[in-house]
Amino acid sequence: MKVILTRDVPKVGTDGEIVAVADGYARNYLFPRQLAVVAKGGAMKQHEARIAREIARTAQLLATAQQNGEILKDQHFLLIAKASPKSTRLFGSITEADVAENILKTLGLEIDKRKISLIDPIKVTGQYSLTAKLHPEVTVSFTIEVATQEQLDHREHEKVLAIEKAAKAEAAAIAAAEAAAHRAEQAAIRAAERPRMEARPRREDYGEIPDAEG
């Protein structure tokens, strides 16, 4: 007899599965305990509708996971923690729950913390590469940076200094270019005047000039 299991039955099958069993086993054990129904008529229609719903649900879960994976993939998250001044060792630690919370706050994605590949809590500042398994077929990589406010402030200060240094270098380069252009302009003016100076008649070119008395 073919029956549709309504619950998991050890050594027989899982909930929703159609299996063939002995008639006596079905009538004396499965049916009285409501573990199965005969695989025909209305029961078969319900089973087919259930299978269709499961297929649609599975496809939707995969599509959602793929969409979220595209959003999460290669993202970089900053987690600010506390530590002793000039130290990289944290007070406390960063856990997968902290990472999941940061992702939710930053991207609006709710990730199961158990699916994040953080084996041990993070106790030292730095950058870490992690993955999140959003679906049996979807696993994406991302990075997190754990830093203290002191480190961020120092980084910002270094950034400002670098910008100022670059601005000074740019100003010096502009000034040097303007000076070079001015020198070239003056040289061009002198070069243009030289032929006129050389063409002007000199006294010796006319020989001895007689005086008024001749």
pLDDT class for 86, splitting at 50, 70, 90? confident
pLDDT class for 85, splitting at 50, 70, 90? confident
Closest CA to 111 of 90, 138, 92: 138
Residue 138 is given by DSSP the state E
Residue-range domains of the chain with CATH: 2-70 (3.40.5.10), 72-197 (3.10.430.100)
Predicted confidence (pLDDT) per residue in 20-40, tens digit: 999 999 999 999 999 999 999
d(CA 43, CA 49): 10
- Among the ranges given (72-86, 156-170, 194-208), the one the predictor scored with the smallest mean pLDDT: 194-208
**Alpha-carbon torsion 37, 40, 42, 43, what sign?**
positive
Asked if pLDDT for residue 205 goes beyond 70, the answer is: no
Q: What is the mean pLDDT of residues 157-181?
A: 91
d(CA 29, CA 36): 9
What is the model's pLDDT at position 175?
A: 92
Q: What is the mean pLDDT of residues 86-111?
A: 94
Asked if pLDDT for residue 107 goes beyond 90, the answer is: yes
| Helix, coil or strand: residue 124 | strand
pLDDT, mean over the chain: 89
